[in-house]
Structure 1
Amino acid sequence: MNHDQSNAPIAARPAVLPLSDRVNEAMAIARRGVDELLIESEFAQKLARSEQSGQPLRIKLGLDPTAPDLHLGHTVVLNKMRQLQDLGHQVIFLIGDFTSMIGDPSGRNATRPPLTREQIEVNAKTYFAQASLVLDPERTEIRYNSEWCDKLGSRGMIQLASRYTVARMMERDDFTKRFRDGTPISVHEFLYPLMQGYDSVELKADLELGGTDQKFNLLVGRELQKDWGQEPQCILTMPLLEGLDGVEKMSKSKGNYIGITEPANNMFGKVMSISDTMMWRYFDLLSFRSIAEIAGFKAEVEAGRNPRDLKVALAQEIVTRFHSQQAAEDALTDFVNRSKGGIPDDIPAISLSGAPLGIGQLLKQANLCASTSEALRMVEQGGVRIDGAVISDKGLKVEAGEFVLQVGKRKFARVTLA
């Protein structure tokens, strides 16, 4: 890539093409559940041109491997990617192994600690395998942005930085708030949106997807593509999915997430734990059912149907997608059994020594609580059972024997204590 094309002309815009029924159908699929599609008229013309030429659009999604596991929040945008892939377009799953070393400042009120190369490599190994549970791996182009970012060098980085002003960067909400509040902004954070935008130049993206918190970065990609003489990409932003608490966005660090590789029973139980109101948000953003069918479900609830029935349907749909239909059926059986106070069949068996053992230590060593203090809080709250009997004595010493420990509704262990 020649980095001295600042005066290159913008690619001539093609003539406006009439929209076919297939293009209108594709636009309807693209719009479903989105927060914004910019610019709709441009994207419609890209689709029309693609249909006429037989050349698929290049659709980009970049994810930084900041953690080793993907959760349902990530699949909101991956689902949209799959829908566009099924329309015949070329999807590009970009792993931001270079940008991870900078740290995305999106939505942050403090500098994000950059990851080490070792952390990034460990996380990246699992990313595409997990994304392939949603995308068709045979039709997905996987790229790493270190391919071109490493080659830029200091000269190329300076030339890239010259293409955007500090004033433009400060239009970004999180930078503005931090500057106003006197919260430090490191110079390297300004490089992140530039590097993400440069990815679009290298990949010649026609459309880039991201969460609503990525809008600024996606728009930078449009501007840089114009500088390089390319037709600017359209951008499609998807809403951020709230976690199990129904308030904060789903995040592993906040503990309110549903991992896509979690055991089927855990996944089912977590979906069932969301509120009846939040259930509709999950239907809209995660379900593959038609808009009309979901509207029908809402009408049934308004007419008196128990929303729990529909939550079960949603949980089974999600578990089937990431496991199997049989796993979803088994998860429902397990959930009903637990709801009646029964003990699941597949609980871990653990052998411990040191009897008599304090209840706090016992729960910690059985991996049912992270600490003895958490264990004692659970005892206080009436959330601990031994063989189905509620334990209320925080000073209890448990004698040797075999028994089933239960913490809360979903944590069990079959313990042999010597």
Structure 2
Amino acid sequence: MKWESLSGEQKSEVERQLAVIRRGVVEIVPEDDLKNKIANAVATGKPLNVKLGLDPSAPDIHIGHTVVLHKLRQFQELGHQVQLIIGDFTGRIGDPTGKSETRKQLTEEDVKRNAETYQKQIYKILDPQQTKLYYNSEWLAPLNFADVVNLAGKVTVARMMERDDFTKRYTSGLPISIHEFFYPLMQGYDSIALDSDVELGGTDQTFNLLMGRTLQKEYNKPGQIVITTPLIEGLDGVNKMSKSLGNYIGIDEEPNQIYGKSMSIPDRLMLKYYELATDLSNEELAALKAGLADGSVHPRDAKMQLAATFVRMYHGEEAAKAAENHFITVFQQRALPDDIEEVSIAAEQLEDGQIRIVKLLTLLDLLPTSSEARRSVQQGAVRLNEEKITDINADISPKDGDVLQVGKRKFIKIKLT
């Protein structure tokens, strides 16, 4: 549908949709084609197919992962259809992007377990009624060797070596397995199988996303639009949000954890989190920016609103209010919370009534590993009855009612059994 043939009302709708889609994105390739696709959708009432591929190798979703999911939700609110692809076939290879070595292939059982976890979490953001879920084994597994050779013949080795990670590994003498070249080919083939109009991904996925556009044209199909979203820094304000670095906010974490972690977001990144990872409208975001700029909104209040927004999005309004009250009680008024969880420990787990602090922290599930427990103690993040413990070799004599605390957000009350 040509732009010139649209009515004035239809043109306004196209511009409105473009304004929403442009929010917080790094690049749209090419934007003119996106405008034409939206114009056709507005004129015909046929929604665009907007694709996102998920490699189910790390299923616990954090705020960094939600940046692209919120962009998908915006497309849904504009009336378009999301094609969500669980890469159960590509996941057996693993995306080599940014890796300095060949990744270990996942088993079929690993992929299935991780994919199930993803599905439970993504619908906290996406509308399931406007989401079509696929497993790419549906079309990749049936390909025969002749099909694979034909697909591989569409792209040169030189094109593959344009990827920085492949080039660095090659020049450094590190191995590159042939099957790793097939990852972008298979991701691109997903777009062929589903006739995707748009594909989204982080900036680290640009090569893979453009491969879909290239292959669609090779198969005489309209090339998809590629939209890249930024990678968001974690709570340290420096590195990309990552569970392995511990600088993340998980969407399945407890409300008090989400709220407390959000309050440690660096001030300079606060608006970026609002723009990329919340459901605030463009108008609400503009008003917030103006308020911070003219001083009518205090940064502390804006951050508390951000923390409450995250909790509300993933746990509901009531949980958000409770988490805010908890934060005010514990951190602003510096009092212990009233609703501390009670955790039991059996007397036989103690030696002469004592236990090493590191072992106690892991035994009570306050920290997942001994190394993290030692690090927390050394950093002064552990308190027993509000007294700081800094010796990793300290022996504790726990009593009924003792309050053990890690950081500013984790509290448990000990019960001896």
TM-score calculated relative to the size of structure 2: 0.91
Task: Say if 1:348 and 1:412, in contact at 8 Å, map to a contact too.
Answer: no
- The one-character-per-residue Cα deviations of 1:271-325 (angstroms, maximum 9, x if unpaired) are 1111111212101211222345434434433444531110010111111111111
- Residues 225 and 396 of structure 1: CA distance in aligned 2, closer, same or farther (over 3 Å): closer
Correspondence 1:180-199 to 2 at 5 A: 180-199=171-190
Partner residue in 2 for 1:320: 312
Distance 1:404 1:180, change over 3 A: same
Work out whether residues 2 and 39 of structure 2, in 8 Å CA contact, stay in contact via their aligned partners in 1. Answer: no
The match for 1:330 is 322
Counterpart for residue 7 of structure 1: none
1:227 matched residue in structure 2: 218
Shift of 1:373: 5.9
Change in Cα spacing, 1:95 to 1:159, as seen in structure 2 (3 Å) is same
Displacement of 1:352: 3.3
Deviates more, 1:24-33 or 1:190-199: 24-33
Paired residues of 2:340 and 2:412 also in contact (CA < 8 A): no
**Which of 49, 71, 81 is residue 90 of structure 1 equivalent to?**
81
Equivalent residue for 1:52? 43
Q: 2:129 aligns with which of 123, 129, 138?
A: 138
In 1, the alpha carbon distance for the partners of 2:393 and 2:66 equals 45
1:413 alignment counterpart? 412
C-alpha distance in 2 between matches for 1:127 and 1:372: 28
Structure 2 residue aligned with 1:399: 397
In structure 1, what is the Cα distance between the partners aligned to 2:370 and 2:115? 34
Q: How does 1:72-83 map to 2 (within 5 A)?
A: 72-83=63-74
C-alpha displacement at 1:199, in angstroms?
Answer: 0.4
Code of the aligned partner of 2:334: G
- Which whole-Å deviations, capped at 9, do the CAs of 1:98-148 have from their partners, x for residues lacking one? 010111112223222221111100001121221111111022111110000
Q: Which moved more, 1:289-298 or 1:349-358?
A: 289-298
1:350 to 326, 330, 344: 344
1:70-219 → structure 2 map (5 Å cutoff): 70-219=61-210
Give the Cα–Cα distance (whole angstroms) in 2 for the partners of residues 252 and 58 of structure 1. Answer: 31
Q: CA separation of 1:400/1:37 partners in 2, compared to 1, >3 Å: closer, same or farther?
A: closer
Residue among 283, 302, 307 paired with 1:310: 302
Give the CA deviation at 1:251: 2.0
User: What is the CA RMSD across the aligned residues, in angstroms?
Assistant: 2.0
Deviation, 1:392, is 5.1
Secondary structure of the structure 2 residue equivalent to 1:171: coil
2:359 maps to 361
2:238 matched to which residue of 1? 247
The CA distance in 2 between the partners of 1:392 and 1:163, in whole Å, is 60
SS at match of 1:152: coil
Aligned partner of 2:383 in structure 1 is: 385
Equivalent pairs, count: 405
Q: Is the 8 A contact 1:64 1:96 kept in 2?
A: yes
Q: Cα distance 1:388–1:21, how it changes in 2: closer, same or farther (>3 A)?
A: same
**Residues 393, 25 of structure 1: CA spacing in aligned structure 2 closer, same or farther, 3 A cutoff?**
closer
Task: Summarize deviations over 1:131-174 as a string: whole Å, max 9, x none.
Answer: 11111102211111000000013222122111110011111222
Q: Distance in 2 between matches of 1:210 and 1:368?
A: 34
Question: What amino acid is the match of 1:33?
Answer: G
SS class of match (1:414)? strand
- Tell me how far apart the structure 1 counterparts of residues 22 and 187 of structure 2 sit (CA, whole Å): 24
Q: Please give the alpha-carbon distance, in whole angstroms, between the structure 1 residues aligned to 2:66 and 2:367.
A: 29
**Percentage of matched positions with identical amino acids:** 48
CA displacement 1:188-215 (0-9 Å, x = unmatched): 1110000000000000011111111111
**Offset of 1:372 from its aligned partner?**
5.2
Report the AA paired with residue 180 of structure 1: T
- Partner AA of 2:359 in structure 1: Q
Q: Please, what TM-score do these two structures have when normalized by structure 1?
A: 0.91
Q: Deviations over 1:22-67 (max 9, x none)?
A: 1111111111111111111111111111222222111111111112
Contact 1:18–1:48 (Cα < 8 Å) also in 2: no
- Say which SS state the counterpart of residue 401 (structure 1) adopts: coil
* Aligned-partner residue type, residue 361 of structure 2: L
2: distance between equivalents of 1:369 and 1:289?
34
